[in-house]
Amino acid sequence: MHKIEKIDWTSDYIVQWRPLDMCNYDCSYCSPSNHRTIIKKDITTADTLIKAATNIRDSISNDKTVLVYVTGGEPFLVPEIYRWFNFMSDCNFKVGVFTNGSLPISMYMKCKSSFKNINIKISYHPENADIDHIVSLASTIVEHGGAVEIRAMLVNKLFGRVDELEQKLSKYDIPILKLPVFPLYDARTKTVNPTFASSRNLSHYTQTIDDGSLGYFTEEELATIKDDSNQQSIPDYLNVMVDGVGTNASTMVRNNLNRFKGWKCSVTNKKILIQANGNIQYGVCANSGTSGNVFDDIKLFTEEYTICTQSECHTIDEVMITKFNESGETK
């Protein structure tokens, strides 16, 4: 494998935005920095987010399109967050909102006036989620003209809960993408954080691929992960070319082909991530460090490549961003 290239991006730029780093869940495999304990006074406001979105709009040429992925933490903890979504919709930003889907359905329905530009992506976390609530939320969004996608997390010992969700959603035309989690692993002690254990106060643990070497997934679970027939549907936007041959990013992740250390990567001219404090970095990997703050004067993208220093790429859209090793470089 020498070169990865996606030629059918739906937008020129991708902005992944974490408006807050707090969550009402405490999943065993989630990075502790992304699901801190909820402190209401520290939750940002819709007006603050609108101001930041204005800076992004004003810093990008009018002929460029922007896709904003809102992640967290749990973004729907922000009061009146629908006002921010409405503003970005009015700016013609395409918006994908990742939520654990646990909050009252009425909170999600406040966004329905901007459903034309917003896609709700429900991350199903089987350690915590109420399956019937997820089914009700997803079907309600669809009934009101919204687009929804389920990303079901494959967690050790809990694959059956994903199967149950899939069965209950079978009468709706709602795509379900099954993705293996990256368990938290302490390389010093060779310890994996087990299913149902808290990860909120862990240190020295990092999300790590389990290809069988960590002992997190069973052999049967690993076989299920790698079997494409277990995928109900894979969205077209995950299609990507690898050395000129078509595949998709989901298959790459499930087969542990998301290792690019030493490769040249163009994340610097495609995607930024905005942290809860407003700091901007190129990609979740932050390979080039912090490059400004969204509340200041900002220059968002550069034509320069970065050299990957990460042992694994854990973010599915970043797996697809153009990258190559030296033997695959084309002039």
Rounded to whole angstroms, the Cα distance separating 228 from 223 reads 10
pLDDT at residue 1 tops 80:
no
Tell me if 95 sits within 8 A of 89, measured CB to CB.
Answer: yes
When pLDDT is cut at 50, 70 and 90, the band that residue 257 belongs to is: very high
pLDDT at residue 187 tops 50:
yes
- Contacts for 138 with CB less than 8 Å, ≥ 6 apart: 101, 122, 148, 150, 169, 172, 174
pLDDT tens digits, one per residue of 92-115: 899 999 999 999 999 999 988 888
Tell me if 141 sits within 8 A of 114, measured CB to CB.
Answer: no
Q: Print the domain residue range for 78.
A: 3-328
DSSP assignment, residue 212?
Answer: S
What pLDDT score does 262 carry?
94
Rounded to whole angstroms, the Cα distance separating 147 from 169 reads 15
- The mean pLDDT value of the chain amounts to 92
What pLDDT score does 329 carry?
46
When pLDDT is cut at 50, 70 and 90, the band that residue 327 belongs to is: low
What pLDDT score does 117 carry?
78
Total-model pTM: 0.89
* Encoded amino acid at 259, one letter: R
Query: From the CA atom positions of the chain, what is the Rg in Å?
Result: 19
- What secondary structure does DSSP assign to 223-276, as a single string? HHHH-GGG-S---GGGEEEETTEEEEHHHHHHTT----TT-EE-GGGTEEEE-T
What pLDDT score does 223 carry?
95
What pLDDT score does 234 carry?
82
pLDDT at residue 302 tops 90:
no
What pLDDT score does 330 carry?
39
pLDDT tens digits, one per residue of 34-54: 899 999 999 999 999 999 999
pLDDT tens digits, one per residue of 150-179: 999 999 999 999 999 999 998 888 889 999
pLDDT tens digits, one per residue of 111-143: 888 887 789 999 999 999 999 999 999 999 999
**CATH number of residue 145's parent domain:** 3.20.20
Phi, psi of 131 (to 5 degrees): -60, -45
Query: How many domains would you assign to the chain?
Result: 1
- In terms of Cα–Cα distance, which of 313, 224, 189 is closest to 263? 313
More confident residue, 329 or 228: 228
Neighbour-count burial for 275-297, b at 16+ CB within 10 Å, e otherwise: bbebbbbbbbbbbbeebebbeee
Rounded to whole angstroms, the Cα distance separating 98 from 87 reads 18
What value, to the nearest 5°, has the Cα angle with vertex 148 and ends 56 and 34? 55
Q: How many CB atoms lie within 10 A of CB 155?
A: 24
Average of per-residue pLDDT across 56-65: 92
pLDDT at residue 331 tops 50:
no
More confident residue, 192 or 113: 192
| CA dist list (Å): 130 to 75, 77, 126 | 18, 18, 8
When pLDDT is cut at 50, 70 and 90, the band that residue 273 belongs to is: very high
DSSP assignment, residue 277?
Answer: T
What pLDDT score does 320 carry?
96
